[in-house]
Structure 1
């Protein structure tokens, strides 16, 4: 009996040490995870806001539901992130304190860029304002992967200022020579 007891004890310790080893079940942690189902893409969409399109430009896209869309409005040679509010000058015969807002919403298949105002956009803008704010407006749509580790599209990255177009281009290593032009409807 004295000879069998140490063998049983040794077998028990061996069994316990083997069953406690869970190294094959540990998750693999990648230092900078890469989302392989979506990669950063930029595309330009140009259109005019009119009463006929309800002051909304619709662009077709194709992304994962967790990915992020950023939209920038062309301002001369620069890009301004939207949402953005413009305060129009007071003009005789038109309402005072006019505000024109650009905003957007998206899902996995479309991006809607829209203007909203506290006045009638069809009748209470000067021709110069209509040309500047509503006619032939160009938007750069940037599709970027969400952070898969956080599973939250709102937390793309704390390392990049999303309001700074150039910082986004640099962070995601985007090639501006490969920008696609897409139609709005």
Structure 2
């Protein structure tokens, strides 16, 4: 048999091949060192889904423009829903809270007076409007009590199922503990 001689051809490493090998090596090290560590923090206090109620007492409407601002104890989210109720009286069953806007009419059906409101993240503005506010009984202008109910946006869909005109239904639906209502004297 013939002796086969294999000729080995030695290819010299060029600088470009060395750079390519070094970059490939660095890439492999970089990919293998990518470790992703996830840290899960559990917040047991869910701040965006807690309904709150603030009660403002001794609220007086003065002849300057018959409107006033009730400042919130803290800023609320811009997506929150705000309901304002006025203490309109009491009965053996408890207090009677009326949702604003609240309107009163003369016997002939024309507007006598009413309350309306608008709100921001920082406060609610309540207006007393009507025909003859100067002649209106002080029982409707002085020493009024209002409750501001803040309902987080997370409850938005369920808000359609609650009769917001019924203060007690709102309190019950959103699990508000009336003993924890923050009272603010004006």
**Could you say which TM-score interval applies, normalised by the shorter chain?**
0.5 to 0.7
1:81 and 2:93 are equivalent in the alignment:
no
Q: How many residues align?
A: 134
Q: Counterparts of 1:108 and 1:50 in 2: how far apart (Å)?
A: 25
Aligned counterparts, 1:25-40, within 5 A: 36-40=47-51
Rg larger in structure: 2
Check 1:156–1:102 CA distance in 2 against 1; reply closer, same or farther (3 A cut). farther
Call closer, same or farther: CA 1:88–1:45 in 2, change over 3 Å.
farther
Conserved 8 A contact 2:77-2:121: yes
Gap regions ≥5 residues in structure 2:
1-45, 90-94
Q: What's 2:151 paired with?
A: 144
Seen in structure 2, the aligned counterparts of structure 1 residues 59 and 156 have a Cα distance that, compared at 3 Å, is farther
Question: What pairs with 1:150-169 in structure 2 (closer than 5 Å)?
Answer: 157-169=159-171
Is the alpha carbon distance of 1:110 and 1:38 closer, same or farther for their aligned partners in structure 2, counting shifts above 3 Å? farther
User: Which residue among 112, 117, 123 is the counterpart of 1:104?
Assistant: 117
Secondary structure, in 3 states, of the residue corresponding to 1:174?
coil
> TM (normalized to structure 1)?
0.64
1:182 is displaced (CA, Å) by: 2.1
TM-score for the superposition, normalised by structure 2:
0.64
User: Whose strand fraction is larger, Structure 1's or Structure 2's?
Assistant: 2
Q: Is the 8 A contact 1:71 1:139 kept in 2?
A: yes
* Structure-1 residue corresponding to 2:142: 135
Structure 1 portions without partners, runs of 5+: 1-34, 91-95
Within 2, Cα distance between the matches of 1:97 and 1:65? Answer: 36
Tell me the equivalent position of 2:56: 45
Q: Distance in 2 between matches of 1:74 and 1:89?
A: 23
Is the 8 Å Cα contact of residues 87 and 97 (structure 1) preserved in structure 2? yes
